[in-house]
């Protein structure tokens, strides 16, 4: 409200100054321009920069003095219109390079340019920080994905081992049940020996051994395939880290070591399981109904993979 009142007061004063006097002589252009300039300075001091610019422009139309250009630039700068102010400061210097406000204009131009450079630098730093943040998020997401894949693969491996053990136990339970039916006089809980050649009590044992051998060999092939996949993954990570200019990434190093460990374990366990499966299949296929009291069972754990032979030879 105070600013509006000041504007109206200044306009009324200027209008009175430039109106034809009843008794005084008509003021000159210079006098009117000075009155406009004073009004502009008053408006600028009160913070009414647009009104100040209007008065400065009216004064410049009457008397195009370069200092009025400087005044207009000042009002634009104070109003926050830096681009307009910068252009007007440069215009003032081009018209009056040695004027009274020339050094001020140069200092203000330098200040504006330095402020712009600083703002540009901060903006560039903010952009780089944002890019780094996004890259970190992408890397963490990739590490999380790989860890989840490794976890699922471990679960599949454990489930496969549990399934094989369950099949072996089931086959053993079936063999014991068949032996118990064939020898009902045996003491409850006694362990019946398994005739590889077999009488009627062990008639299904060769087929069971062949099925178990096929399952064990297939499991070994799966383990080999998993090991090959992890080996390729470990080699890919090693190649990526050994490229010229590559940045050392501890997470990738750990992932490569983990993949290499799994690959080596699978490359050892896979052939053992395949060999065990082949032996079981061959034993079930080629036995000749001799009276050897033997039993074969695969043994798989986190530390050991192999076959267990139970019984005695004559």
- pLDDT score, position 183: 79
Burial class for 8, CB neighbours closer than 10 Å (0-12, 13-18, 19+): exposed
Which is nearest to 223 in space by CA: 305, 307, 166, 309?
A: 305
Q: Quote the pTM value.
A: 0.40
Q: Are 212 and 167 in contact (CB under 8 A)?
A: yes
Assess contact for 206 and 287: CB atoms under 8 A.
yes
Which domains, from first to last, does the chain contain?
Answer: 2-100 (1.25.40.10), 142-180+194-312 (no CATH)
In Å, the largest CA–CA distance within the chain is 150
Rounded to whole angstroms, the Cα distance separating 172 from 245 reads: 59
Rounded distance between C-alpha atoms, residue 270 and residue 288, angstroms: 30
Distance CA 167, CA 144 (A): 34
For the chain, 314 residues long, the average pLDDT of each consecutive 10-residue run is 39 42 65 96 96 97 96 96 96 94 96 93 94 94 94 94 93 91 63 45 68 86 86 84 75 83 86 86 68 56 59 52
Cβ distance 32 to 17 under 8 Å? yes
pLDDT value of residue 129: 95
Yes or no: say if 68 and 88 are a contact pair by the CB < 8 Å rule. no
């Amino acid at each position: 409200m105070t600013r509006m009142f000041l504007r109206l007061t200044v306009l009324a004063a200027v209008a009175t100054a430039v109106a034809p006097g009843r008794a005084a002589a008509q003021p000159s252009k210079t006098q009117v321009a000075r009155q406009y300039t004073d009004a502009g300075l008053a408006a600028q001091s009160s913070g009414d920069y647009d009104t100040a610019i209007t008065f400065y422009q009216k004064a410049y139309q009457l008397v195009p003095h370069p200092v009025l250009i400087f005044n207009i630039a000042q009002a634009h700068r104070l109003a926050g219109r830096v681009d307009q102010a910068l252009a007007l400061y440069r215009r003032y210097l081009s018209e009056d390079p040695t004027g009274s406000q020339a050094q001020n204009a140069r200092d203000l131009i330098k200040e504006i340019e330095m402020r712009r450079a600083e703002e540009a630098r901060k903006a560039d730093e903010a952009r780089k920080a944002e890019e780094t943040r996004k890259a970190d998020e992408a890397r963490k997401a990739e590490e999380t994905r790989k860890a989840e894949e490794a976890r699922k693969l471990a679960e599949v491996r454990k489930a496969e081992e549990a399934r094989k053990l369950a099949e072996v136990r089931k086959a053993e339970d079936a063999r014991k049940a068949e032996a118990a039916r064939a020898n009902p006089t045996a003491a409850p809980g006694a362990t019946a020996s398994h005739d590889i050649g077999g009488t009627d009590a062990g008639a299904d044992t060769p087929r069971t051994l062949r099925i178990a051998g096929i399952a064990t060999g297939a499991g070994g092939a799966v383990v080999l395939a998993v090991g090959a996949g992890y080996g390729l993954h470990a080699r890919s990570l090693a190649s990526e880290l050994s490229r010229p200019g590559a940045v050392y990434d501890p997470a990738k190093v750990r992932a490569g070591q983990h993949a290499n460990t799994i690959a080596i374990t699978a490359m050892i366990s896979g052939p053992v399981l395949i060999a065990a499966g082949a032996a079981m299949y061959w034993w079930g296929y080629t036995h000749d109904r001799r009276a050897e009291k033997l039993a074969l069972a695969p043994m798989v754990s986190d530390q050991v993979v192999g076959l267990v032979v139970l019984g005695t030879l004559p």
